[in-house]
């Protein structure tokens, strides 16, 4: 497959993997926050009853989880595409 065609062919796969990664990361973050906080949802940035430290900690943890899950899912998808097609997606 040519480079341009390979990139176009991978776009729908990448989109589906991105949706899956977001769902997995959202679930993982809720579980991690529940373990940290005990119960309740993570704070929103505009939550007046929560302090700066708690809001920024939640944002940092959420960002870390989303980044790691997205990278793992993207990498796994690329490996799967190479196994199926013999070409690494660009």
pLDDT digits (tens, 9 = 90+) for 9-34: 778 888 899 999 999 999 999 999 99
Rounded to an integer, what distance in angstroms lies between the CA atom of residue 73 and that of residue 86?
19
Long-range contacts, 23-30 (Cβ 8 Å, 24+)? 24/69, 24/73, 25/65, 25/66, 25/69, 25/70, 28/65, 28/69, 29/61, 29/62, 29/65, 29/66
pTM of the model: 0.81
Rounded to an integer, what distance in angstroms lies between the CA atom of residue 24 and that of residue 65?
10
Q: Return the higher-pLDDT residue of 7 and 25.
A: 25
Sign of CA dihedral 71, 77, 78, 80: positive
pLDDT band at 89 (very low <50, low <70, confident <90, very high): confident
């Amino acid at each position: 497959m040519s480079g341009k065609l390979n990139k176009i062919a991978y776009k729908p796969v990448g989109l589906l993997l991105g949706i899956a990664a977001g769902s997995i990361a959202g679930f993982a973050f809720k579980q991690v926050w529940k373990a940290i906080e005990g119960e309740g949802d993570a704070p929103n940035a505009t939550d007046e009853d929560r302090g700066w430290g708690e809001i920024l900690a939640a944002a940092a943890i959420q960002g870390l989880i989303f980044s790691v899950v997205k990278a793992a899912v993207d990498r796994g998808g690329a490996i799967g595409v190479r196994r199926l097609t013999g070409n690494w997606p660009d």
